[in-house]
Amino acid sequence: MPGIQSGTAFTSVCVNTAIYLPWLLSQCVKNGVVFKRAKLQDLTDALAVGSHGRVDMIVNCTGLGASTLGGVRDSTVVPARGQITLVRNENGGRMVNLSGTDDGDDEACYVMTRAVGGGTVLGGSYQKGDWNAEVDHELARRIMHRAVKACPDLTRGSGKVEDLDVIRHGVGLRPVREGGARVEREPMANGWVVHNYGHGGAGYQSSYGCAQAAVRLVTEVTSAKVSKL
């Protein structure tokens, strides 16, 4: 590709979240987890949601909500607006990530094909501090143009953006935290809270490692290995 000075090729994976997330939910249900939907104004409101008596532990995974939730209100958590375009992927798998673009430091170029007909994700943007959840169609045009330039076979070789088979455009607000994700325990008046939030755009990549760290913190508390002092 013209303009590229160097590159690296390697084998990786791409999660089809439309399949993965329901599977995770099913595993939780299978292991006895009870799900309840509620609106919380304060972290301590979670103590009243449980139906099994006293709640000794809260695991706080509120993401961007950690910036406004009472009892947390972490002002270092801000959104990083990410916009993508999802297209059909009949032409085989591909994974491409460029280190930058000519369209600004808050825009990116990547192509990620999801398995079993999950489409190909074209990205993107990383607009820190932007709360706008609406699709920017001019940005969508730039995203598609960059992706087609990097991978002409997305259009069966025509190289024309209008030949992309677009499924939808999407916007997500990534929960970025200054200083990195917060995975730590904190004492409360009636128990403990273990925080696990602020992973930015690396939520899926870091999920297992951060979950294991959170479980370790919970285990230390429940096994009386730590005190509030």
- CATH number where 213 lies: 3.40.50.720
Q: Note whether 226 and 220 are within 8 A (CB).
A: yes
> Domain tally for the chain?
2
Residue 31 domain-assigned (yes or no): no
Nearest Cα to Cα of residue 84 among 49, 122, 53, 117:
122
Shared domain for 169 and 183, answered yes or no, is no
Q: What is the pLDDT of residue 210?
A: 97
Question: Looking at the predicted structure, is the pLDDT value of residue 218 above 70?
Answer: yes
**pTM across the whole model:** 0.86
pLDDT at 225: 60
Check pLDDT > 50 for residue 66: yes
Residue 159 lies in a domain: yes
- DSSP secondary-structure letter at 42? B
Is residue 72 assigned to a domain?
yes
Domain coverage including residue 162: 78-175
Q: Kindly report the length of the chain.
A: 229
Residues 184-212 pLDDT 10s:
999 988 789 999 999 999 999 999 999 99
CA distances from 141 to 3, 86, 125, 211, 214 (A): 21, 13, 12, 37, 40
pLDDT in tens, 84-137: 999 997 666 678 888 888 899 999 999 999 888 889 999 999 999 999 999 999
Whether residues 182 and 198 share a domain: the answer is yes
122 and 183 fall within a common domain? no
Question: How many CB atoms neighbour CB 134 within 10 A?
Answer: 8
